[in-house]
Amino acid sequence: MVKNYFLFTTPTCPSCPPVKSFLNELEQRGEVAGTVFDVTKNDGYEQAIVFNVSKAPTVVFFDEKKQEIGRANSIGEIKSIIFDY
Count of the separate structural domains present in the chain: 1
Q: State the average pLDDT over residues 14-34.
A: 95
Per-residue pLDDT reduced to its tens digit, 39-63:
999 999 999 999 999 999 999 999 9
- The answer to whether the beta carbons of residues 57 and 46 sit under 8 Å apart is no
**Range of the structural domain that residue 44 is part of:** 4-84
DSSP 8-state assignment for residue 31: S
Reduced to 3 states, what is the DSSP secondary structure of residue 62?
strand
Q: Domain holding 54: CATH number?
A: 3.40.30.10
Q: State the average pLDDT over residues 6-25.
A: 97
Quick check: pTM over 0.75?
yes
Per-residue pLDDT reduced to its tens digit, 57-80:
999 999 999 999 999 999 999 999
- For the sheet containing 68-72, what is the strand order? 33-38, 4-9, 58-62, 68-72
Give yes or no for residue 85 having a pLDDT over 60. Answer: no
